[in-house]
Amino acid sequence: MPIQIIKNAILAAAAVVGLNLLGGCKSGQPLTLARDGKTEYVIVVADDASGVDKYAAAELSRYLKQIAGADYPVVEPKDMDPAKPCIFIGLSSPALKILGKDPMAVFKDQDNAARKIGKNIFLYGKGLHGNLYAVMDFLENSLAWRWFSVFEYPLLPEKTTVTIEPFNRKQSFSFRYCLQDLQRSIDYGYQMGANLYFDQKFRGKTDLPREKRAFVSAFHEVEHGAGNHHTFFSFIPPSPDNRFVAYFDWQKKKDYFTTNPDYYSMNADGKRAPRQLCFGNPDLRAEFTKQAMRLIEVEGDDITVCVCALDTPDMFCHCPSCKVLMDKHQSPGGPLYDYLIELCGILQEKHPKAHVYTIAYRRSQTEIPPKLPEGGKLPSNLIVNFAPIEDCLFADWTHPDENNQETYRHLKEWANILGEGNLMSLYYGPYGAAMYLPIGDIDRLVTNMRLMHAAGARGIQMDQDMHSRSAFSELRNYLFYKLRKDVNADIGAIIREFTGYMYGPAAELIRTYLNELEAARKEMISKGLPMGVSFHAPLEQKNFLYLTPENIHRWQGYFDKMAVLAAKGPDRCRVNVELARRSLDIATLWKWFELTKKYPEIYRDHQVFVERISAAEKNTPLPMAAWEQERASRPEGFAEIRRKWMPLGDSVVSDLATIIKGGGQVKPLPQELAGLDQSRVKRFVPANRFSVVGKDYPPVGDRVVLDPDAAFGFAATTYLPPQHPGQKLPFTFGYRQERKSPSITRSIKLDEITPGVYRLYKLGEVIVTPAAMIWMPEWSCSTILEIGQRLYEPGAENRWEAYLSLKFDGPTYGGPAKEDRVLVDQVIMVRKSDDQFKAK
């Protein structure tokens, strides 16, 4: 390439990444921010600095003290010593005196600048968080601050003399809005660039007015928290026991379904049910608007009113008026769109500062945008977050799969009819088995975020599990924030830096592992996408074809080497390698019988792998450093703690271990269920977890017994206390949605028992919730299956029919055994609801 063209290409790249030099020139003397642990510098904020600006100043001062050991006091202009050099945060009057009249004349919201002029430093930006972003840019790009993971310490160079090269930067972000899970840290997300959900997080926890608060959302979104974006019933609660009722304090009426059943969905059978709202009903629309006005009255009109459907599938309403509106807008979301257009119109007139926010979610509801006349636009005060939950998680939008292509087309169509900057989009990280098995989807994240931006999305959200520190969840999180700022960032460089810190001497090998996972995934989908996989992938052979014995074995070899290498680095490298290895060890247990066949000398004892997973979980989280604890003194007044992560694939590990114990045999389904479509059937073995018994009780005995009659070659025992013979017969088992909620139970009498053989007992239909469990028997509840952890799908109907397979023996049950005992070899679940995530 000729030199001139290279130069142009570099310039073009600089313009694209949004990080460019301001008009002034960059030359000049380096600046000494501290010498031998001392500094002259003070941090200057404006007299009327906002809570966010004060937070930015306090954090800068805190970090600088850690770097140089010196104190950097934060002062207002009136307390400045004119002889001392300053770090100006925001445009205070003395800063403007040097910078000139309007240094942000061409800035867009959140654009920010970091500049050195003479001995002074200027950090300023436009809008609510502009100054904070300038401070973070200064920390990151002039002082090498990094914060790779919420589970790690912020990384700071420590040197008593701090000299920095001249700088003059302006930064624009690719995405204006950035929404991320904040459950594990407020500071991490805020400093990395998240700017939504903070209002929500601090709701009811501070009396400070919005402008005085450190943690504020980019738009005022008090109402997002109702069920995580699902707000219909916060406005119109069907009954006082509905979980959304408590959300709005001002809400007095709580029984709309009793007084106005026609406000709610008409089901296919013509009956009204409190499932969603019926926006074909003009009375409901009037009532909803009245409620929205009350919200604005209470919260002020600088607000974004969230109007979002409940997280339950299927068409909103089957009534004739709703059907008319579906036809009118050529989308199942028609009734809601029609109302949103009306509400937005009213607000534009009465409260021009207010916005309306909704989600484009599920094909059968709101993913498909309304068809407007050529060139038509939706109201400019409508913000839409596009949440493509039906996409196969193995493929990005460059894959020719029809379903994925249709999704991306919908996103582009939304962009065409929304006001500039009003479209957000969500990236779903892996869920289901992909959370705990090895998967390389980093490339998918990067590609789809770039395509979202190209389509016109200017807000971004990621939904993934961060709690178990699965192999690449922290990298995914870090890259998400980097791409939020600059969608064209150098991904290779970021991954090298991230893995270098997290894995130290093992970094190169973990990158090889990641690259091979990516390549294996791409090869798998080059032949088509696995059916029935959406944002989550069930643990089924057809879904992870790249987890072959050869690959698993080769990758285990990498981890053997990584373990040796990481031991030479800081201890965090050892911990991070151990945590990353868990998913490969789970895959090893899953493919155990194939591995033992192929490499009989190596895969001899599965317990080694079970124990290695458990040893990795025993590592403890890093404590917060003392200087991090100082954050407790801020106005919002809390110090964060680094909480322990959740074990990865906990119940799956024990399930796989028991299957291995059973020798890998699988008997066909019991006769009664033999004719069923096998894809609707899931089989599990519960576990006897009974541990605490009074001193008068006999010991618990074996928890698992090998039994050639059992479906998988082994069965779980149950604890039958001899002191409570009444609990043995009838034998009662049950299902409950949560620990304290009532159970659906089934009692087995003697005439239903054939001693010494497994018989099937039907419990009936259940709705599986995240914490749902099947328990047996009454009194001891010794033996349980956490069915929610295994089956629950967020947002799905989750209707299943439950069966238990039990074998009774001993005197009470008329069997020859000396002692009474009841074994359970399987719980069989049969899916009753259609899978709404399945591709058409």
Indicate the residue among 267 and 732 with the shorter CB distance to Zn ion: 267
Nearest Cα residue to 776 out of 670, 690, 681, 683:
690
Would strands 459-463 and 423-428 be described as parallel, antiparallel, or unpaired? parallel
Indicate the residue among 322 and 660 with the shorter CB distance to Zn ion: 322
Indicate the residue among 278 and 748 with the shorter CB distance to Zn ion: 278
What's the closest the beta carbon of residue 44 comes to Zn ion, in angstroms? 59
What's the closest the beta carbon of residue 234 comes to Zn ion, in angstroms? 20
What's the closest the beta carbon of residue 322 comes to Zn ion, in angstroms? 3
Indicate the residue among 280 and 379 with the shorter CB distance to Zn ion: 280
> What does the alpha-carbon distance between residue 521 and residue 443 come to, in Å, rounded to a whole number?
10
Indicate the residue among 91 and 317 with the shorter CB distance to Zn ion: 317
What's the closest the beta carbon of residue 272 comes to Zn ion, in angstroms? 9
> What does the alpha-carbon distance between residue 386 and residue 390 come to, in Å, rounded to a whole number?
12
What region, left, alpha or beta, does residue 5 occupy, with left being phi > 0 and alpha being psi -120 to 50 degrees?
Answer: alpha
Nearest Cα residue to 480 out of 435, 444, 454, 438:
444
Indicate the residue among 31 and 317 with the shorter CB distance to Zn ion: 317
Indicate the residue among 322 and 610 with the shorter CB distance to Zn ion: 322
What's the closest the beta carbon of residue 265 comes to Zn ion, in angstroms? 7
Write out the two tokens for 575.
Answer: 């911990």
Nearest Cα residue to 594 out of 640, 648, 548:
548
Q: In whole angstroms, how far apart are CA 789 and each of 104, 766, 772?
A: 52, 15, 8
230 alpha carbon, distance to own chain's centre: 16
Task: List, in sequence order, the alpha helices (H) in 402-441.
Answer: 402-417
Indicate the residue among 196 and 317 with the shorter CB distance to Zn ion: 317
- Asked if residues 581 and 616 have their Cβ atoms less than 8 Å apart, the reply is yes
The answer for residues whose C-beta is within 8 angstroms of residue 178's C-beta and 6 or more apart is: 193, 194, 195, 196, 459, 460, 461, 481, 484
Which residues lie across from 830 on neighbouring strands?
681, 801
Indicate the residue among 280 and 549 with the shorter CB distance to Zn ion: 280
Q: In whole angstroms, how far apart are CA 786 and each of 454, 478, 651, 655, 819?
A: 43, 32, 8, 11, 28
Q: In whole angstroms, how far apart are CA 607 and each of 585, 589, 654, 673?
A: 11, 9, 11, 34
> What does the alpha-carbon distance between residue 279 and residue 285 come to, in Å, rounded to a whole number?
6
What's the closest the beta carbon of residue 268 comes to Zn ion, in angstroms? 12
The answer for residues whose C-beta is within 8 angstroms of residue 671's C-beta and 6 or more apart is: none
What's the closest the beta carbon of residue 329 comes to Zn ion, in angstroms? 14
What's the closest the beta carbon of residue 278 comes to Zn ion, in angstroms? 3
3-state class of 110 per DSSP?
Answer: coil
Indicate the residue among 208 and 324 with the shorter CB distance to Zn ion: 324
What's the closest the beta carbon of residue 279 comes to Zn ion, in angstroms? 7
What's the closest the beta carbon of residue 337 comes to Zn ion, in angstroms? 14
Write out the two tokens for 98.
Answer: 């040097």
Indicate the residue among 145 and 263 with the shorter CB distance to Zn ion: 263
Indicate the residue among 262 and 605 with the shorter CB distance to Zn ion: 262
Indicate the residue among 278 and 433 with the shorter CB distance to Zn ion: 278
> What does the alpha-carbon distance between residue 643 and residue 471 come to, in Å, rounded to a whole number?
18
What's the closest the beta carbon of residue 342 comes to Zn ion, in angstroms? 15
Q: What is the DSSP letter of 366?
A: I
Q: What is the DSSP track for 726-783?
A: GGTSSEEEEEESSTTS-EEEEEE-GGG--TTSEEEEEEEEEE--TT-EEEESTTT--E
> What does the alpha-carbon distance between residue 824 and residue 618 come to, in Å, rounded to a whole number?
31
Q: In whole angstroms, how far apart are CA 126 and each of 241, 280, 374, 481?
A: 45, 42, 35, 19
What's the closest the beta carbon of residue 277 comes to Zn ion, in angstroms? 8
Indicate the residue among 309 and 393 with the shorter CB distance to Zn ion: 309
Indicate the residue among 80 and 324 with the shorter CB distance to Zn ion: 324
What's the closest the beta carbon of residue 62 comes to Zn ion, in angstroms? 55
- Give the residue carrying structure tokens 């409508």: 382
Q: In whole angstroms, how far apart are CA 582 and each of 438, 577, 617, 647, 777?
A: 9, 9, 9, 10, 34
- Give the residue carrying structure tokens 């020798």: 663
Nearest Cα residue to 556 out of 525, 594, 583:
583
> What does the alpha-carbon distance between residue 669 and residue 677 come to, in Å, rounded to a whole number?
11
What's the closest the beta carbon of residue 345 comes to Zn ion, in angstroms? 21
What's the closest the beta carbon of residue 316 comes to Zn ion, in angstroms? 7
What's the closest the beta carbon of residue 328 comes to Zn ion, in angstroms? 13
> What does the alpha-carbon distance between residue 605 and residue 597 come to, in Å, rounded to a whole number?
13
> What does the alpha-carbon distance between residue 754 and residue 775 come to, in Å, rounded to a whole number?
21
Indicate the residue among 278 and 509 with the shorter CB distance to Zn ion: 278
Judged by the rule CB under 5 A, the positions of this chain that interact with Zn ion are: 278, 280, 317, 319, 322
Indicate the residue among 319 and 577 with the shorter CB distance to Zn ion: 319
Residue 466 parent element (H or E): none
What's the closest the beta carbon of residue 834 comes to Zn ion, in angstroms? 22
What's the closest the beta carbon of residue 533 comes to Zn ion, in angstroms? 33
Write out the two tokens for 170.
Answer: 């302006």
Preceding omega of 777 cis (within 30 degrees of 0): yes
Indicate the residue among 179 and 322 with the shorter CB distance to Zn ion: 322
Number of Cα atoms under 13 Å in the Cβ half of residue 815: 18
